[in-house]
Amino acid sequence: MKIAYFIKKSGLASDASVRSFLDELAASGVSTYDVAGGLEPGTDMLIAFGGDGTFLTASRIVCEAGVPILGINLGRMGFLSDNELSSVLEPLLAGKYIIEEREMLEVRVEGADAPAIFPYALNEVAFRRSGAGTLGVCLELNGAALPAYWCDGLLVSTSTGSTAYSLSVGGPICPPDVEVLIIAPIAPHNLNVRPLVVRKDSKVEMTAIDRKNRSVLLSVDNKDYVLPANARVKVGCAPFALKRVTFGKSSFIDALRSKLFWGEDVRNSR
């Protein structure tokens, strides 16, 4: 078995528990290498050591190649990286794991001087204002124009991303196996604007209503880009899914309760 590993925070590279884990893998006959030098042919799995941000960065390395990714939580939240270091080694070596698929977004940018971007996102794509003042966003859904949004921005999220940025702007919570896209305004300057849930095969196009020739910002997961004011952003479902390693013991509902304190109420205490 050949396993790559990814460490975003430099301090973790010398962490005793991480080094011990990698040494035990090697002692069990597993070939390991640091993926910082590039993904090698024949790689069976990528292990991301860190939090959810590390998982998102690591996903960009393997998503197109179809290599499964295992997240080991050494960060804070741990929605994507939900495995503890102490409980992974034995089932991993025994092959007692499941590979689930998570839908990803594909984004394309059209317009003069548009930058080259990494076109895939696991959580969300956000189209945002770059300075002071409300941004007007024209939205087309499957070619049909919706009323303009006046807001700080607009985001398109997967169900996996429903507990990330989308949650913070008032979007609905969706279990990760629900095949939908969520369109949610960021700080809308209206009282009658609501998030919209659409089919996963929907096509979304966003452009700015710009009266000052200002640039706009595009966030693709945890990567930001500056776009020209005339940019057109097209978002849809990617032609592949991210392969995520799980040990079949995590529960989405339990994660909502333990990590986001869903239903935390003195009346619910036992």
- Annotated catalytic residue, options 44, 52, 210, 254: 52
State how far the Cα of 136 lies from the Cα of 226, in Å rounded to an integer: 17
Q: Return the half-sphere exposure (C-beta side, CA atoms, 13 A cut-off) of residue 198.
A: 18
Let me know if 52 is a catalytic residue. Answer: yes
Exposure of 56 in the CB half-sphere (CA atoms within 13 A): 22
The residue with tokens 């939240």 is 77
In angstroms, the CA 252 to CA 232 distance is: 35
* SS3 assignment, position 190: coil
**116: β partners:** none
Nearest to 81 by CA among 106, 57, 105: 57
CB 248 within 8 A of CB 82: no
Euclidean distance between CA atoms 174 and 124, whole angstroms: 13
60's enclosing H/E stretch is helix 52-62
Cα–Cα distance, 243 to 241 (Å, whole number): 6
Backbone angles phi, psi at 142, to 5 degrees: 55, 40
Residues catalogued as catalytic: 52
